[in-house]
């Protein structure tokens, strides 16, 4: 019994020597990453990253206005709000989802020669809780499928 117990202790000690540096390094990397993100200017992608790292009570005041006039400006704002558990339909007394939907025209979202704004539009509208068979999501999906490359992928733009 004593030998078995000793083997178990030695086994735990070896496992600790093997895995502790990896666990310690991961914690250090996470802490460094978090510190770096917190030092950055408030921006939608930074908010999404901080939210993904478990940060709460983020200052979202900068999201009360969208700087820019493109669909992608609204898409990233919606994604940041959803990541931070804020409602993109009512945040700052603005319905960002309705604003994004206003970019829908001719079965696609945003600029007619770009595909990325349709892709991000589908993701943002889905994240905001829009039905997958909504006019905007379904239209953008069909637009993307129509403009899929022969090899199966997509470019940044079409045409």
Tokens of 80: 């940041």
22 or 31, higher pLDDT: 31
**pLDDT, mean of residues 57-85:** 95
Domains of the chain, residue spans = 2-39, 61-146
Q: Which of 35-39, 46-50, 106-110, 154-158 is predicted with the least confidence, judged by mean pLDDT?
A: 154-158
- Find out whether 80 and 47 touch, Cβ atoms under 8 Å: yes
Question: What pLDDT score does 15 carry?
Answer: 54
**Alpha carbons 66 and 76: distance in angstroms, whole number:** 10
Question: What pLDDT score does 30 carry?
Answer: 83
**pLDDT, mean of residues 54-71:** 92
**Long-range pairs of 83-91 with CB within 8 A, sequence gap ≥ 24:** 83/47, 83/48, 83/51, 83/52, 84/47, 84/51, 84/58, 84/60, 85/51, 86/60, 88/128, 89/128, 91/60, 91/63, 91/64
pLDDT tens for 23-62 read 557 778 888 888 898 999 999 999 999 999 999 989 999 9
- Of 50, 67, 71, the C-alpha closest to 125 is 71
**DSSP assignment of 52-119:** HTT--S---GGGGS--SSSHHHHHHHHHHHHHTT--TTTGGG--HHHHHHTTEETTEES-TTBSHHHH
Confidence of residue 18 (pLDDT cuts 50, 70, 90): low
């Amino acid at each position: 019994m004593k030998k078995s117990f000793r083997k178990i202790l030695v086994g735990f000690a070896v496992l600790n020597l093997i895995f502790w540096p990896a666990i310690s390094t991961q914690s250090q990397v996470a802490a460094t990453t978090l510190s770096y993100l917190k030092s950055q200017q408030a921006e939608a992608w930074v908010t999404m990253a901080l939210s993904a790292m478990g940060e709460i009570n983020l200052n979202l005041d900068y999201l009360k206005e969208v700087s820019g006039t493109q669909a992608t400006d609204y898409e990233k704002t919606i994604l940041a709000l959803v990541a931070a558990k804020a409602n993109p339909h009512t945040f700052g007394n603005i319905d960002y989802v309705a604003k994004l939907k206003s970019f829908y025209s001719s079965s696609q979202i945003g600029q007619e020669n770009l595909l990325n704004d349709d892709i991000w539009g589908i993701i943002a509208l889905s994240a905001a809780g829009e039905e997958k068979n909504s006019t905007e999501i379904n239209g953008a999906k069909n637009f993307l499928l129509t403009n899929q490359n022969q090899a199966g992928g997509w470019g940044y733009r079409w045409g």
